């Protein structure tokens, strides 16, 4: 099973919307990291959240940002494509 890491912070509505959609996906486990809990995360992501990574074995793959309007089905499809390609960018 693949693992997702979502960098977020309290009060981030884009983060909350994405987290709700990701939580429904059965093929992936979800870990939410609050960037306010660590200075290094804050420095790295304060202007970028939500930031999503796909973890397959020891490979950590950055996931391109989804539109807030993206459906859960679209998100699931894109993540599955990324997982199946082991992080290689899709040509679609």
CATH (residue range 2-84): 3.40.30.10
Contact at 8 Å (CB) between 62 and 53?
Answer: yes
Q: d(Cα 30, Cα 25) in Å, to the nearest integer?
A: 9
Q: How far apart are the first and last CA of the chain?
A: 24
Percent of the chain with pLDDT over 90: 86
Rounded to the nearest integer, the mean pLDDT of the chain is 93
More reliable by pLDDT, 50 or 88: 50
Q: Parallel, antiparallel, or unpaired for β 51-56 and 28-34?
A: unpaired
**Mean pLDDT to the nearest integer, 19-39:** 97
Q: Residue 88: what pLDDT? A: 54
In the chain, what are the domain boundaries? 2-84
Say what the pTM is: 0.89
Beta-bridge mates of residue 33: 7
Per the listing, tokens 């912070």 go with 9
φ, ψ for residue 52, nearest 5 deg: -125, 135
């Amino acid at each position: 099973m693949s693992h997702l890491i979502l960098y977020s912070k309290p009060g981030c509505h884009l983060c909350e919307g994405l987290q709700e959609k990701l939580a429904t996906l059965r093929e992936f486990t979800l870990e939410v990291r609050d960037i306010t809990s660590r200075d290094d995360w804050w420095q790295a992501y304060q202007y970028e959240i939500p930031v999503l990574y796909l973890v397959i074995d020891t490979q950590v793959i950055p996931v391109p940002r989804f539109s807030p309007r993206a459906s859960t089905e679209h998100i699931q499809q894109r993540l599955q494509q990324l997982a199946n390609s082991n992080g290689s960018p899709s040509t679609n």
